[in-house]
Chains A and B, each alone.
Chain A
Amino acid sequence: MSELNNLTIAELSEKLAAGECTSVDIVNDVLASIDSNDGKVGAYLTIDRASALEQAQEADEARAAGKKLPMLGIPIAIKDLLNVKGQPCTCSSKILEGYVAPYDATVISKLREAGAVLLGRVNMDEFAMGSSTENAALGKTSNPWNLAHVPGGSSGGSAACVAADEAIASLGSDTGGSIRQPAAFCGCVGVKPTYGRVSRYGLTAFASSLDQIGPLSKTVKDSALLLEVLCGHDKMDSTSIEMEVPSFGKNLTNDHSLAGMKLGLPKEYFVEGMDPEVEKAVHDAVEHCKSLGAEVVEVSLPHSKYAIAVYYIIATAEASANLARFDGIRYGLRVDGKDPLELYGKTRAAGFGPEVKRRIILGTYVLSSGYYDAYYKRAQKVRTLIRNDFAEVFKQCDAILAPVTPTPAYKLGEKTDDPLKMYLDDILTTPVNLAGNCALSLPCGFSASGLPIGLQIIGDSFAEETILKVGHAYEQTTEWHKLKPKI
């Protein structure tokens, strides 16, 4: 199997530069893979084939004219909450039925400037609220490694399409683990950048103080290459940080030594109820990093156990405000009423799915008069404690090694009746969003039943280079990233 869709950004860029293939060839192979597999995987919501081929053609012409761009001719899939001018942007919600994005998100403009081919829109939990892509009103996505299992979420489509070689890479967003967890479940690489690294302009907001856009890819190197394109200050997002973007991709070398690197192992991250196979795979990965020269020290993040409680107060509070804009007036679904109030109530009743309704109601409650201090303000204070935990730990080590999830991917339908149970699975990913620092997820093994297991590498704020270096060294001296699912 040497179809072009199986290759990485780095490999394809070399082939394109050497004239061994064209972007049209790549897109054709990707579309063929979608044709044969996506009926089972269900990663895509919409694919504009004509536009993808046209963009590929343009990329090939630009190359022929001597243009050199970092993503020239590389097809990338887009999570369905990023606005792409002229395309639908449903967020997997019925309430955005009929909406056509009038502008490009900043990350989309950056991909276009870098020469990428925008391939299509991939499935997600409605408004990114979920951990399994089962809260999706418009499609069902399966895990490519076992179609009876969830792909994770909320960026489930973004992870599944990469794992199934139905895209070369993709964009996702991570509010409480929504890039890292599906990457772990589907056996690919995903990066949640430091808060403020990537502009959120054009990302349909879920929880504005936590959301970050990031790449999902087949290798750490590819994520680094994409990150380089996505990062940077943007005047359209006042929370994006003015800071130079390092050459993330170029800085990853073939020197896989981790000598001089101090890695922390947080004892609180090996939680009760953790699957023994996950625990073993992560401990094996830790041993492997030691064999590459890293020093491993035990560290403590004492407030980790409060992260879920803090997260589900802060994220729902912010969501209740952000999703107020979906009222049936200016775009999307409208269900008429005798007056505007009745119209809002009926439109939101028909347009939102149950999880979104639950979270808006919870968020409205924790912000309401009389409860604000008891819930929201208290959560913000505990958020400070969680942030301080990380600040302390990064005085003792360069990066943290941890599992991404307590278990491998579970079965479709297994947790949909119990929202709290589903929330608790985010215990190892939400602290990073609350603290605002960066983390990546990459494959570090498989369960006996053949499901991928993820290793999480957590870095300090703006320490993407460090986590990429550790991830790249681990990945390039192991074989996990070379394994492919049989669909």
Chain B
Amino acid sequence: MTEAKEGMDVGYVANLARIELTEEETALFQGQLDQVLHYVEQLDELDVSEVEPTAHAFPVFNVFRKDEVGQSLDHAVIIANAPAATEGEIRVPKIIDQ
């Protein structure tokens, strides 16, 4: 597992997370997050090979409900929250070139 920990490239990960960073932010976060990653490396001192992971404090599985038609949120209310809308639809920049 140690081969995976070569350090994080903040600029690269920020792009994956869809956050544009300025050069100053990239440099600042790089230093701060390197420090945090160095701190969390203390978990490596534990042998967890026989331990099961915990995803939830109280795992509940297969929660089913009846497939019933319920009340949806009002269309007009949802569209009113959209930053750009036209003819009852949310407007976004063009995705496909014609």
Contacts and interface: CB of A to CB of B under 8 A. Distances in A.
Contact of A309 (B35, B43, B55, B65): B43
A385 B4 contact: no
Interface string A338-349: 111111111011
| B contact residues, range | 35 or more
A331 B77 CA distance: 11
Interface in B52-96: 52-58, 60, 63, 65, 73-74, 77-78, 80-84, 90, 92-95
Given A310-B43, A328-B83, A358 B60 contact: no
Contacts of B74: 102
Contacts of B1: 373-374, 378
Contacts of B39: 308-309, 420
B81 A352 contact: no
B58 A368 contact: no
A334 B84 contact: yes
Interface in A409-431: 419-420, 423
Contacts of B90: 329-330
A316 to B, nearest CB: 9
B92 A340 contact: yes
A339 B95 contact: yes
Given A103-B73, A328-B83, A349-B21, A381 B58 contact: no
A358 B29 contact: yes
B45 to A, nearest CB: 9
A313 interface: yes
A437 B19 CA distance: 35
A436 B57 contact: yes
Interface residues of A, number: 76
Nearest to A318: B55
Contacts of A309: 39-40, 42-43
A384 interface: yes
A378 B48 CA distance: 7
A336 B93 contact: yes
B20 to A, nearest CB: 4
A103 B73 CA distance: 8
A351 to B, nearest CB: 9
Contact of A102 (B29, B37, B58, B78): B78
A324 B18 CA distance: 9
A186 to B, nearest CB: 27
A332 B83 CA distance: 6
A349 B44 CA distance: 33
Interface in B3-29: 4-5, 8, 10, 13-21, 25, 28-29
Contacts of A436: 56-58
A379 interface: yes
A333 interface: yes
Interface stretch (A148-156, A235-243, A265-273, A284-292): A235-243
Given A103-B73, A309-B39, A339-B94, A345 B18 contact: yes
Interface of B: 1, 4-5, 8, 10, 13-21, 25, 28-29, 32-33, 35-37, 39-40, 42-44, 46, 48, 51-58, 60, 63, 65, 73-74, 77-78, 80-84, 90, 92-95
Given A339-B93, A368-B13, A387-B54, 12 more contacts: A99-B81, A306-B43, A328-B83, A346-B20, A348-B18, A348-B19, A357-B19, A361-B13, A362-B37, A368-B16, A374-B4, A436-B57
